[in-house]
Structure 1
Amino acid sequence: MINTTRKRGMGAFALLGASALVLAGCAAAPEAEAPEETEALDFLPCIVSDAGGWDDKSFNEAAYDGIEEAAGDLGVDFIAVESADENAYGPNVQNLVDQGCDLIVTVGFLLNEATATASAANPDINFAIIDDFVEGDNVKPILFNTVEAAFLAGYAAASYSETGVVGTFGGIPIPPVTIFMDGFVQGVSHYNEVKGTSVQALGWDLDGQTGAFTGGFAPGTEALTTAQGLIDQNADVLLPVGGPIYFSAAEAIRDSGRSIALMGVDKDVFVSDPDIADLLLTSVLKNIAVAVYDVVTAAAGGNFDSSTYVGTLENGGVGLAPFHDFESSVDAELSGEIEALIAAIIAGEIEVTSPASP
């Protein structure tokens, strides 16, 4: 368990102490009225990760960022519990219930059962779940139509590829993962239609809804082998979908000695993980931090509601990160084409769908 408290008050205390020392040397210092004390907010927000952990540099970390910022702005403590594996989900959620949390954010599709059980048993506690729907007046689903943003990534990957082969693979075949893969493959196909090319997208069969998966969200042998398999088939752009499995993809790229670009998911991994920034073509963004921040601050103000939030290109809930260091390497027209695609998707002129769309 991590219990994070604000440290902003220390800076104010140090400043007050310095002022007092200055005033002590001035005989004619005027009396200052004591500031009114504001009553501390009685609100305890809490959050529990999936097995990817808080240091995944993407999905869980983004959710943690949101609650950390919200707690800081509210002036309250928060409790964050990290799940070692999926056997910990139920006990970890119950642990937060037992600690008197007012709002519990569960991070990920895999916490559905634990969230449904705890929310039904504790109607006086509010819950929010990311990437899945749980019914209940005290549960707010936070969903993202990521297929739209992943479509842009597939288009960009096809544009950048010099070998004419790109690839994707996932951690576990669950909707929040496959929705990325659906969009990625559709984006490659759209590029081929527009440009008259034949770029291959490996790792995911759009029609059969089957593809390459590591079996979990941990980096390691399976993720390394899967990434290497795509590289061996001449892929020069990789989109690993599943938090920290991209660590192993980056390792495979470096081991290959070839010029291969990596794509991140959830956060702008160029920013969140500078160690592999040189490999990052772009990242498919889910604005998880902002969504969590909004839910926490609303609940703290007594404005919690159970209506489903769906992040889209139109409302800024999903998007594509900048090309950063690759800006000079991509086609000069690509950024403009991406902007045009965004406008066309929002207008409904290009239909981008997935069986996993919320």
Structure 2
Amino acid sequence: MTISTRKTVLAGLAMFGTVAMLAACAQAPATTDDTNSAAASDFLPCMVSDEGGFDDKSFNQLGFEGLTEASETLGVKPITVESATETDYQSNVQNLVDQGCNLIVTVGFNLAAATVESALANPEVNYAIIDDTADLDFNGEIDAPNIKPIVFDTAPAAFLAGYAAAGYSKTGVVGTYGGLQIPPVTIFMDGFADGVAYYNEKNGTTVQTVGWDVASQTGSFTGGFAAGVDSLAKAQGLIDQNADVLLPVGGPIFLSAIEAIKSSGKDIAMIGVDADLYETYPDGADLFLTSILKGMKVGVAEVVAGAGADDFDATPFVGTLDNDGVGVAPFHDFESKVAATMADELDAIKAGIIDGSITVESPASPKQ
């Protein structure tokens, strides 16, 4: 598949500073630490967001926090640009190349084509991309040697959340909907629905998942990652089907789900994605049963720090349950509302997934 073809595919799916660096003062003969510091001062890390911006309380924000943390440690000031729409991706990446960035981190699957195109045209620049393997030909090979994927096998973590949701549900119906029908979204939905099915298998229950069908890979999507009328309608549609646990997957779309829940007047819980939304969005804390976590902040910080120390390679960073790259947040205010045995059950399931006795698979899972 060519880059232009991939752009077409992504478009189809969607229908679904001036740099301030530390000045090196005149110094005595350099020690090892002095040398590393001098090297870091010449390093300029940069980042391009996907739609939603760096304050989305979700994946863009987590990536930004990782970049900021590593940059502060290195003593450099990063450059960041936000994408308002998909038409901004290519120009935003080129903008950072033109500003002399040494490492450009792109946030999200949707930036894959722009990232690969720029990496091939600028082999002296290093790139990292979150939530995509930069494999436009789908042959298992990264398409440029200067791109490092930062990906996460979130299906097992979502499986745990699905199990908990089924155990909590009083109506026997739980629901999920997504922003765009792309792998970083559907992987959550696959794991969630399979976790509900596993709960039914183990407990003799018939909790139903609405909004996503794993077998047919079809379900409910807003067509973007913005909160608003479309997301509100999708959430309301699940509520109308009697769902009392909602999993909105796609950055800020969760804000519309909160609106729908409050308008309904019903006792409905939510599950967050990417970050622990109980902490990042305290205004909705009383609604969050748990959140499905992706260690994007840690992954980005590790990659940026490595590149700043002149230690960059294209080997993918893959977050898993085993390395704590993915997981589930505490029940917080719902601790007394879930079964007393639920935490122990989830610990046992997590151990089973890690040792291979419980298989959790998704078509969207990254190759490891």
Q: If the length of structure 2 is used for normalisation, what is the TM-score?
A: 0.87
Distance 1:215 1:53 in 2: 17
- Indicate conservation of the 8 Å contact 1:3/1:78, yes or no: no
State the partner residue of 1:267: 275
- Indicate conservation of the 8 Å contact 2:21/2:41, yes or no: no
State the partner residue of 1:129: 129
State the partner residue of 1:323: 331
- Indicate conservation of the 8 Å contact 1:46/1:104, yes or no: yes
State the partner residue of 1:71: 71
Structure-2 change in CA distance of 1:327 and 1:5 (3 Å): farther
**Percent identity of equivalent pairs:** 60
Distance 2:273 2:97 in 1: 31
Distance 2:55 2:254 in 1: 13
Q: Which amino acid aligns with 1:94?
A: Q
State the partner residue of 1:27: none
SS at match of 1:84: coil
Q: CA deviation at 1:162?
A: 0.5
Distance 2:227 2:317 in 1: 30
Distance 1:348 1:228 in 2: 38
Q: Which runs of 5+ in 2 are unaligned?
A: 1-16, 23-30, 135-141
Structure-2 change in CA distance of 1:235 and 1:47 (3 Å): same
State the partner residue of 1:50: 50
Q: Which amino acid aligns with 2:251?
A: G
Distance 2:242 2:114 in 1: 42
State the partner residue of 1:94: 94
Distance 2:78 2:218 in 1: 40
Structure-2 change in CA distance of 1:164 and 1:3 (3 Å): farther
- Indicate conservation of the 8 Å contact 1:6/1:72, yes or no: no
Distance 1:272 1:301 in 2: 31
1:41 corresponds to 2:49 = no
State the partner residue of 2:27: none
- Work out the number of aligned pairs and report it: 331
SS at match of 2:174: strand
1:240 corresponds to 2:248 = yes
State the partner residue of 1:343: 351
**What do the CA deviations read for 1:204-224 (whole angstroms, capped 9, x no partner)?**
011000000001000000000
1:171 corresponds to 2:179 = yes
Q: CA deviation at 1:310?
A: 1.1
Distance 1:158 1:53 in 2: 33
Distance 1:301 1:264 in 2: 34
Q: What does residue range 131-280 of structure 1 map to in structure 2 within 5 Å?
A: 131-134=131-134, 135=142, 136-280=144-288
**What do the CA deviations read for 1:158-181 (whole angstroms, capped 9, x no partner)?**
001011100000001000000000
Distance 1:348 1:328 in 2: 31
Q: Which amino acid aligns with 1:141?
A: P
Structure-2 change in CA distance of 1:193 and 1:81 (3 Å): same
State the partner residue of 2:8: none
Distance 2:216 2:117 in 1: 33
Q: 1:314 aligns with which of 295, 319, 322?
A: 322
Q: CA deviation at 1:52?
A: 1.8
Distance 1:68 1:80 in 2: 10
Q: If the length of structure 1 is used for normalisation, what is the TM-score?
A: 0.90
Distance 2:281 2:347 in 1: 26
Distance 1:184 1:6 in 2: 44
State the partner residue of 1:23: none
After TM superposition, the runs of 4+ consecutive aligned structure 1 residues lying more than 6 A away are 2-7
Q: Which amino acid aligns with 1:239?
A: L
State the partner residue of 2:113: 113
- Indicate conservation of the 8 Å contact 1:131/1:144, yes or no: yes
Q: Which amino acid aligns with 2:337?
A: S
Q: CA deviation at 1:3?
A: 6.9
Aligned CA-pair RMSD: 1.8
Q: CA deviation at 1:346?
A: 0.3
Q: CA deviation at 1:5?
A: 6.6
**What do the CA deviations read for 1:8-50 (whole angstroms, capped 9, x no partner)?**
xxxxxxxxxxxxxxxxxxxxxxxxxxxx997472110000000
Q: Which amino acid aligns with 2:115?
A: T
- Indicate conservation of the 8 Å contact 1:169/1:204, yes or no: yes
Q: Which amino acid aligns with 2:99?
A: Q
SS at match of 2:301: helix
Distance 2:175 2:62 in 1: 25
SS at match of 1:315: coil
SS at match of 1:336: helix
Q: Which runs of 5+ in 1 are unaligned?
A: 8-35
Distance 1:282 1:258 in 2: 18
Distance 1:296 1:249 in 2: 34
- Indicate conservation of the 8 Å contact 2:21/2:42, yes or no: no
